[in-house]
Every structure is written in C-alpha cells, then in structure tokens.
C-alpha cells in the first residue's frame, strides 16, 4: 500500500471502502481510492461480492515487496448488478432425487463466476441452452455455502438465433428497446400534425431552402441546415428539432428519456431515447413536412469569423433528405447525375463546403485536435449476420455537418454562459500532467517534443504533434497513445471548456432526439425566450441540473461500453471465417501477458507472450516494448507485424493471433 492510516486501530480492525473488481478466476481486487492502490481479495473472502459492488473491506495482510495488501470483504454496501444475461441450463439428475432447483443460469459476463439457480415456477418455461435475462433474488456467498438464485424475466432465444447475440449484450447493460405502456400511449397522443396555432409566434422559415444531410441508413433527422448571403456575409442556419414542444418536463416520456439518457446504436439494433412515433415521426425533420424547430442562426464573414447570432423558436419545411454519400459525390466528384437531380442546391452545397473549410481552418488555428483513428463500421445482412468489417468512411459531407454542429454548439454555450443562466455544458477537462509527461518522454525517443509550461499542456501542442507525425511509420502509435493520455468528456453544470476542441464554451444542443442533455438545454432556451426565468425557475434548474448531467454522463458510458462489446462480438464472428489465414497488422497495445495487433479493417487480436518465442520475455509498459531476454527479438507499439488468425471466440469476444 502507498500509505497506511493508523489512528490507534490495528491493521486488521481498520475498515475501508471501495469498488470490487472481480477476475474470471474467482478472486478479486478492491480499489481503495484513499490509498491509490488495490487490495487483493481471495476467492473465499469476497463474502458474496460481485463485480462493480461497493464493499467494505478489512485488510488482513500488509503489502510486502511486489505483493499487494490482502483483505476480506466485510459487507456489500451497494449492489451494482441486479440482473444478468446468461445461458439457461437444465439440472442433470444422474439418477438422484430431483433437486429443488429446476436449472441454473450461467452468466455471459466472465467477471461473474457463480451460477444462479432457478426453480421451475420461476423459469418462465425456459429451455436448455436459451439465452435469458435473470433478476437476482438471492446473492450467494461461497464462504457460507449460500447459493445464488433468481427469476427469469425474459427469454431472448438461442445463441444461433439472428440478433440474439446483440440483444443479449444490450440487456446485460440494462438497455431495452421496449417502452412502458404509459410512455407509448402518451407518445402516440403527441404525434399530431403541426397546426397554424402552434406556429403563430414562431420565426417562419418555411419559404427558405432548408434540408437535412445524414447517413444513408438514418431514420431520425434532428438537424437541418440552410445558407444564405446578406450584405456580403454568410448566414448559416442550424435548425434543430423542437422536441420540447411535445415532450413536456415531468411527463411519462420525459422521465423515460432521462432514465435512458441517450439513444444507443448497436450493430443491427437501435435503442432509441424516445418512442419511434416521436423520434421517427413528428420530431424528425422529414422532407416536405412542416416541423417545429429551435434555430441557431449565425452570421459569418467569408473567413468564417462569427459576427452575429440569433437563437429562436422556428418552423421549417425541409426541401430534401440528403445523404453524406450524395453530398460528398456532389462536392468532391461533381457527379453529373446528382448535380442534375439537385441542380437548385448544388451552389448552396458548394458554398457550405467553403464555409465548413473556413470554420475548420479557424478551429485548427486555435489548436483544436483532430485524430485520424478510424472508427469501425459493421455491415450486416438482413438476418443480422456480419458480412464485412471496415473503417467508417469520412468525407467532405460528414466534415461539413460536423463543423456546422460544432459552430452551433459553441454559439449556444457561449450565449447562455455569458448570461449566467443555469445550463449543462459538454466539458473535456485538461489532461492529467503525469500522463502527458509520460507521453512526452515516450515521443522523445522518436525525436518529438511537447512544450509543457509549468507542467501543463495546451491543445495547440497536441495538434502540432499530430500534424508533425502525419504519414510517418509511428503515426498510428503516437495518435493512440495521445488519445489515451486525454480525459473523457462529460456533462457538467460549470463551463469547464473543451480541451479537444480548444473551445472555451461548448455544449450539446444539436441532437435532442437522441441525447437528453440537448433536450434539457432546449427547455432552458425556451424558458429564457419566453421570459420564464424568475427566481423559482432558477432555483428549480439549480436543483436538478447536476443530477441530469451526472445521469447523462453515466448512461453515455454504458451506451459506449455496450457498443464496444457488440462490435467486439461481431468482429469475432467475422474473423471465424479467416482461421489460418495471414494478415498484415500494427502492434496496437503492449501488456505483460501479450501484444495486441490491429488489422487494416480495425479488427484487433492478441498474441500471447508464450507464442512470440520460447525464451523468457519481459514487458516494459513505460517504454511500450516487449523483448526476449535470450533471442533479442523486440516488439514495439506501432511496429508492423504479420500475423495468422488462430482462434476467434464469440462467447468471450476474443481473437487470438500467432506471429506469421
């Protein structure tokens, strides 16, 4: 342990609190924040604790040399898991009297090692081998021989059923695409056409050329754009679906949206924040239909400098539903057929492209960071089977919309911050100086250096580094290490700035259909526009916004974890057809148990240390290198390597490689 508190109590009497982290082998660790270290918990001393539980721990052995302190769980203070997803197994009789348990559920989560027994009346008719969702009723304890028990709430189907694999992961993260009956009923009642009464006090933009640009497979459209010229300046309109016109604060739908926090996009499955009648219906900015919006109208000069802005309730009538692929073909390729089909907006699109490039140039000038790490796109057939894994395609159209949304988010955030009104910001705090110091030490070996005045880092320095490594062998390596050195963004009620974008003010305003903070911000904007910010309203927002920000950040993390696990699963499924085949890759991570290699299609697998060579290997994670003591072979982060696919397991979502 890094420090031991001694207030008169003996080591064995002292009780500490922390989060239990289980291993797949049955033992675990508890991270004690006060000590900045972890305590080892033997298999027999965990007192029924499960992965993620907040527990009370007593230390039984002090740390010594390279050994961690050892302890035992005294009690579980807070459970992190109330339901599990797993495989139902019928009990085998073997000629003995039928046991009380009808079957058990074997969890999919490798961190949960116990079985959960189920009586017949609580099995919901589950059959052997089916994937199920089980609600835990009894938390077992190996030390007292107490068995874990539960009730099956949902039967998902068999492993080989299409889409069951993804749905199983979604349920494991407590994500459901089903809405409560009262929410569905309320949402259906809200799905009504826009009337003249609803728009009488709004800015009427129905005669303007406004359109949406989204992905080819998008079904909900919460942002539309427009561009005009006025007095030699450029007027950019970012028009966002006015979800708050339908989803009122405290309603069934609003409470459910807050509970979900965000829409979740998994391979072949969308779990929306709002019911489809709203998200794909009246709130979606569908073409050729009147829609209620909140518009951020910004005036720029030709170099992209913001001159003026206005935020208003509005009504639009989208003229086109455009896709990234079509817009990119018009902007970059001047596709004749598409230019002819969209002749009345080609010039607008070209002007938008020029403005987007000007905005991007200004953003980069201030130090905004753009990573070139490819995201994964999973291609599925109609049955949910993966047919291809490849990097996500970025083009001029995706960049155009990204720049316009950033501009609107910054404008709205600055406007309300300056008015000192309670608000929710999207914050990306400055990196930890220790992590940046380690990064700087590593890149020095490649001839690069970060300027760190007083130990701190400016976004501009990160940007300069990424620009200097472009098209070099070490580019992928340094980009990944740099990204790992930064903090995660989150929602806060204080304007902490956005390090990655080099923004002093930033928020999420542009996606209220799929993110709750955006919906909450729209509500604040409209209260301000309607003059409703009296003392009680200010106190109301002061009381709830911290909770909204924390809840939204937490749900975002869960959505990201679920998406990551689903992508890992589909990658494992995809690579099963390539067992024994050879690919070129890059070493993406170095650990003391092996090296991870990423292929061009973004698939990542591991080569165990024992498979690299027969001699003894050492790992120096500070230097990101594995080397053989006898052979002298060296494997470094970022090094090209040829591999052979050895194993691909969809159950564990692990892919194993061998050096080719």
135 and 230 inside one domain: no
DSSP string, 520-540: HHHHHHHHHHTT---HHHHHH
Average pLDDT for 583-600: 87
Looking at the fold, whether 113 and 128 belong to one and the same domain comes out as: yes
Contact of 67 with 37, CB cutoff 8 Å: no
Pick the closest to residue 552 from 278, 132, 138, 258 (CA basis): 258
Burial of 14 (0-12, 13-18, 19+ CB in 10 A): middle
Per the domain annotation, does 254 fall within a domain? yes
Residue with tokens 């599925």: 380
The closest of 406, 432, 404 to 501, measured between CA atoms, is 406
pLDDT at residue 224, rounded to an integer: 98
> Domain span at residue 22?
15-78
- Whether residues 214 and 350 share a domain: the answer is yes
CA 451, 457, 462, 464: dihedral to nearest 10 degrees? -40
Which of the residue ranges 65-74, 352-361, 364-373, 539-548 would you say has the lowest mean pLDDT?
65-74
Following DSSP, what letter does each residue of 587-646 receive, concatenated? Answer: EEEE-SSEEEEEETTS-EEEEEHHHH-SS-EEEETTTTEEEETTT--EEETT-EEEEEEE
Tokens 């309300």 belong to 416
CA atoms of 596 and 607, how far apart (whole Å): 6
Return the H-helix or E-strand segment holding 72: strand 70-78
Rounded average pLDDT over 546-569: 95
For residues 257 and 392, state if they share a domain. Answer: yes
**Of 77, 32, 27, nearest to 53 (Cα)?**
77
- Confidence class of residue 90 from pLDDT cuts 50, 70 and 90? very high
- Which range, of 20-34, 222-236, 351-365, 392-406, averages the lowest pLDDT? 20-34
Residue 508 lies in a domain: no
pLDDT at 14: 61
Give the three-state DSSP class for 163.
coil
140 and 186, same domain (yes or no): no
Tell me whether residue 501 is in a domain: no
- 314 or 93, greater pLDDT: 314
Here the tokens at position 207 are: 């005669």
Ranked by mean pLDDT, which of 55-59, 413-417, 465-469 comes out on top?
A: 413-417
Instruction: Please state which of the ranges 380-389, 403-412, 528-537, 586-595 shows the lowest mean pLDDT.
Output: 586-595
Phi, psi of 383 (to 5 degrees): -95, 5
Specify the number of domains making up the chain.
5
pLDDT of 1 strictly over 90 = no
pLDDT of residue 9: 37
What is the average pLDDT score of the chain? 90
- The pLDDT of residue 35: 63
| Rounded-to-integer distance, Cα 585 and Cα 601, Å | 9
Look at residue 380 and tell me if it is in a domain: no
Give the pLDDT confidence score for residue 621 in this predicted structure: 55
Report the pLDDT averaged over residues 398-424.
Answer: 97
User: Residue 5 — pLDDT band, cuts 50, 70, 90?
Assistant: very low
Whether residues 53 and 123 share a domain: the answer is no
Per-residue b or e along 628-656, where b marks 16 or more CB atoms closer than 10 Å to that residue's CB: beeeeeebbbbbebebbbbbbebeebebb
* R_g of the chain computed on alpha carbons: 28
Q: Mean pLDDT lowest for which of 119-133, 367-381, 486-500?
A: 367-381
Residue 393 pLDDT level (bands cut at 50, 70, 90): confident
pLDDT at site 102: 87
Q: Is residue 378 part of a domain?
A: no
pLDDT range class, residue 109, cuts 50, 70, 90: confident
Asked whether residue 443 falls in the same domain as residue 342, the answer is: no
Q: Which of 78, 101, 133 lies at the terminal end of a domain, its last residue?
A: 78
Determine the pLDDT at residue 617: 61
Contact, 240 vs 294, CB < 8 A?
A: yes
Q: Indicate the residue among 32, 51, 78 that finishes a domain.
A: 78
Judged against a pLDDT cut of 80, whether residue 24 lies above it is answered with no
Closest CA to 424 of 262, 545, 243: 545
Question: Which tokens go with 344?
Answer: 């009345």
- Looking at the structure, tell me whether residues 240 and 326 fall in a common domain: yes
What's the confidence (pLDDT) of residue 342? 97
The set of residues, in sequence order, having a beta carbon less than 8 Å from that of 605 and lying 6+ positions away, is 575, 596, 597, 599, 643, 645, 648, 654, 655, 656, 657
φ/ψ bin of 174: left (φ > 0), alpha (ψ from -120 to 50), beta (otherwise): left
- The reply to whether 195 and 295 lie within a common domain is yes
Q: Are 288 and 294 in contact (CB under 8 A)?
A: no
- Same domain? 297 vs 241: yes
Could you report the per-residue pLDDT of 195-219, keeping only the tens digit for each? 999 999 999 999 999 999 999 888 8
- Residue 7 pLDDT level (bands cut at 50, 70, 90): very low
Please report the pLDDT score of residue 145 as a whole number. 79
Q: Considering only residues 71 and 297, tell me which one the structure prediction assigns the higher pLDDT.
A: 297
Mean pLDDT, rounded, for 318-324: 96
Position 574 in a domain:
no
Q: What band does 137 get if pLDDT is binned at 50, 70 and 90?
A: very high
The better pLDDT of the pair 641, 97 is held by 641
Q: 11 by DSSP, 3-state: which?
A: coil
**pLDDT tens-place string over residues 375-387:** 899 999 988 899 9
Same domain, 523 and 645: no
Confidence of residue 476 (pLDDT cuts 50, 70, 90): confident
State the pLDDT at residue 425.
98
Decide if 44 is inside a domain.
Answer: yes
- Is 443 inside a domain boundary? yes
Q: How confident is the model at residue 599 (pLDDT cuts 50, 70, 90)?
A: very high
Share of the chain above pLDDT 70, in %: 93
Region of poorest pLDDT, from 238-242, 462-466, 581-585, 613-617: 613-617
Q: Where does a domain end: 78, 108, 131?
A: 78
Tell me the pLDDT tens digit for each residue of 255-270.
999 999 999 999 999 9
Q: Is 276 in contact with 249 (CB distance < 8 Å)? A: no
pTM for the structure as a whole: 0.88
Angstrom distance (rounded) from CA 474 to CA 617: 23
Residue 635 has pLDDT above 90, yes or no: no
Residue 80 sits at φ, ψ, to 5 deg, of -95, -15
Q: Note the pLDDT of residue 97.
A: 46
CATH of the domain at 638: 2.40.50.140
Percent of the chain exceeding pLDDT 90 equals: 69
| 356: Cα separation from own chain's centroid | 26
* DSSP secondary structure letter of residue 237: E
Average pLDDT over residues 127-145: 89
* Nearest partner of 580 among 641, 656, 528, judged by Cα: 656
Residues 6+ apart with CB under 8 A from 508: 409, 424, 426, 491, 515, 517, 518, 521
The kind and range of the H/E element at 544 are helix 535-575
Residue 88 near residue 124 (C-beta atoms within 8 A): no
CATH number for the domain that contains residue 113: 2.40.50.700
Average pLDDT over residues 298-304: 96
* Report for 369-373, 391-395, 601-605: range of highest mean pLDDT: 601-605
Using CA atoms, how far apart are residues 369 and 357, in angstroms rounded to an integer?
A: 15
Average pLDDT of the residues in 206-235: 95
Higher pLDDT, 635 or 491: 491
Supply φ then ψ for residue 104, to 5 degrees.
-145, 160
Average of pLDDT values for 392-410? 95
Question: Please, are residues 13 and 61 in contact by the beta-carbon 8 Å criterion?
Answer: no
Q: Mean per-residue pLDDT for 22-51?
A: 84
Instruction: Note whether 203 and 151 are same-domain residues.
Output: no
Residue 615: what pLDDT?
65
Residue found under tokens 């039928």: 98
Under DSSP, the state recorded for 653 is T
Which one is predicted more confidently, 631 or 243?
243
Please compute the mean of the pLDDT values over residues 455-481 and round it to a whole number.
Answer: 87
Average pLDDT over residues 424-432: 96
């Amino acid at each position: 342990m890094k420090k031991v508190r001694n207030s008169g109590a003996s080591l064995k009497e002292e009780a500490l609190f922390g989060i239990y982290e289980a291993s797949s082998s049955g033992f675990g660790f508890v991270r004690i924040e006060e000590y900045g270290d972890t305590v080892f918990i033997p298999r027999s001393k965990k007192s029924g604790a499960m992965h993620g539980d907040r527990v009370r721990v007593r230390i039984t052995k002090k740390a010594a040399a390279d050994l961690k302190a050892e302890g035992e769980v005294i009690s579980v203070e807070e459970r992190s898991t109330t339901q599990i997803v797993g495989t139902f197994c019928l009990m085998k009789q073997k000629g003995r009297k039928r046991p009380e348990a009808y079957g058990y559920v074997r969890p999919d989560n490798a961190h949960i090692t116990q079985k959960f027994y189920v009586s017949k009346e609580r099995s919901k008719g589950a059959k052997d081998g089916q994937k199920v969702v089980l609600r835990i009723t009894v938390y077992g304890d190996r030390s007292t021989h107490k068995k874990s028990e539960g009730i099956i709430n949902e039967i998902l189907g068999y492993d080989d059923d299409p889409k069951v694999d993804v749905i199983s992961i979604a349920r494991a993260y407590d994500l459901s695409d089903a809405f409560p009956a009262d929410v569905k009923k309320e949402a259906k009642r809200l799905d009504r056409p826009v009337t003249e009464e609803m728009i009488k006090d709004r800015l009427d933009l129905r005669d303007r050329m406004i359109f949406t640009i989204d992905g080819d497979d998008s079904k909900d459209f919460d942002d539309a754009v427009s561009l005009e010229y006025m007095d030699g300046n450029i007027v950019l309109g970012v028009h966002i679906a006015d979800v708050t016109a339908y989803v009122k604060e405290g309603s069934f739908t609003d409470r459910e949206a807050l509970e979900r926090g965000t829409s979740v996009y998994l391979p072949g499955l969308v779990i929306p924040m709002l019911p489809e009648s709203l998200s794909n219906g009246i709130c979606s900015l569908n073409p050729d239909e009147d829609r209620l919006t909140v518009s951020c109208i910004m005036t720029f000069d030709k170099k992209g400098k913001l001159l003026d802005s206005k935020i208003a309730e509005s009504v639009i009538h989208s003229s086109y539903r455009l896709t990234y692929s079509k817009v990119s073909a018009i902007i970059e390729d001047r596709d004749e057929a598409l230019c002819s089909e969209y002749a009345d907006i080609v010039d607008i699109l070209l002007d938008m492209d020029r403005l987007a490039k000007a905005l991007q140039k200004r953003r980069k000038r201030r130090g905004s960071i753009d990573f070139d790490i490819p995201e994964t796109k999973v291609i599925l057939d109609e049955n949910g089977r993966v047919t291809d894994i490849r990097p996500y395609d970025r083009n001029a159209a995706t960049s155009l919309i990204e720049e316009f949304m950033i501009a609107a988010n910054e404008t709205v955030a600055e406007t309300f911050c300056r008015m000192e009104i309670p608000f929710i910001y999207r914050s990306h705090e400055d990196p930890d100086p220790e992590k940046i110091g380690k990064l700087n030490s590593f890149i020095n070996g490649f001839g690069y250096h970060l300027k760190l005045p007083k130990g701190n880092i400016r976004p501009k320095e990160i940007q300069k580094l990424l620009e200097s490594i472009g098209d070099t062998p070490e580019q992928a390596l340094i980009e990944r290490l740099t990204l790992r050195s930064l903090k995660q963004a989150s929602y806060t009620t204080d304007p902490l700035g956005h390090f990655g974008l080099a923004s002093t003010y930033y928020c999420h305003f542009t996606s209220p259909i799929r993110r709750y903070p955006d919906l909450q911000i729209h509500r604040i904007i409209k209260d301000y526009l309607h003059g409703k910010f009296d003392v009680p309203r200010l106190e109301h927002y002061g009381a709830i916004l911290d909770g909204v920000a924390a809840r939204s950040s937490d749900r975002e993390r869960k959505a990201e974890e679920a998406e990551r696990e689903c992508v890992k699963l589909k990658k494992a499924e995809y690579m099963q057809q390539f067992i024994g085949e050879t690919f070129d890759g890059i070493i993406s991570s170095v650990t003391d148990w092996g090296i991870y290699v990423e292929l061009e299609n973004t698939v990542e697998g591991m080569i165990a240390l024992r498979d690299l060579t027969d001699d003894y290997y050492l790992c120096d994670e500070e230097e990101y290198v594995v080397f053989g003591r006898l052979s002298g072979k060296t494997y470094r982060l970022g090094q090209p390597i040829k591999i052979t696919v050895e194993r691909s397991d969809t159950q564990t979502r692990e892919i194993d490689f061998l050096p080719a």
